[in-house]
Structure 1
Amino acid sequence: MKTEAMIDRFTENDLAVVLAESIGKEFLIDKNQLPEGAERGDYLVLELDDDVVVSIELDQDKTRERKSAVQSKLAKLRAASTGSRFRKKEIE
């Protein structure tokens, strides 16, 4: 079975925490088993056999699409920002 997943974060032990939301599972995958250049926030296609990851592919199209959507939302938020309502106070 193939499923879409995202690299959520990396642990201190060089493990990637990979979330497969569509099936409600989290996988810990050795960083060396990831496709070359994979980083936090990238989307993957995992092939599973009884909840065991047997292959991993980088989904570059989905990654690009999601990163573009996030950048677009950030740009809209920045454009709509009126600044902070708090004033900076100088510390003497």
Structure 2
Amino acid sequence: MKTEAMIDRFTETGQAVLLAETIGREFLIEKNELPEGAERGDYLALELEGDVVLSIELDQEKTIERKSAVQSKLAKLRERSSGSRFKKR
């Protein structure tokens, strides 16, 4: 089965925590098993067999798309924020 996952964080023991939202699963993968250059927030294409991750590929297109969407939302929030309603003395 194929699914996508995001690198949520890295543990102190050198593992990556992958969140596969579409199937509601979390996977712990050794950091050295990730594609070269993969970092927190990147999206991956996973090939699964049951609970076993058979292959991992970096999904650069999805990563760029999601990071762009986040930047766009942050920019909109900054535009709306005109500062504090309270006056300084």
TM-score by length of 1: 0.90
* Cα offsets for 1:11-65 (capped at 9, x unmatched): 1111100000111110000000000110111000000011100100000000000
Which residue type is aligned with residue 31 of structure 1? Answer: K
Which residue type is aligned with residue 77 of structure 2? Answer: L
Deviation at 1:83, TM superposition (A): 1.1
Deviation at 1:84, TM superposition (A): 2.9
2:72 alignment partner in structure 1 = 72
TM-score by length of 2: 0.93
1:40 alignment partner in structure 2 = 40
1:29 alignment partner in structure 2 = 29
Q: What is the percent sequence identity of the aligned residues?
A: 79
Give SS of 1:23's match.
coil
* Cα pair distance change 1:82/1:56, threshold 3 Å: same
Give SS of 1:22's match.
coil
* Cα pair distance change 1:88/1:4, threshold 3 Å: farther
Structural RMSD (CA): 1.6
Unaligned 5+ residue runs, structure 1?
none
Residue-pair matches, total? 89
Which residue type is aligned with residue 59 of structure 2? Answer: D
Give SS of 1:3's match.
strand
Unaligned 5+ residue runs, structure 2?
none
**1:1-92 superposed matches below 5 A:** 1-85=1-85
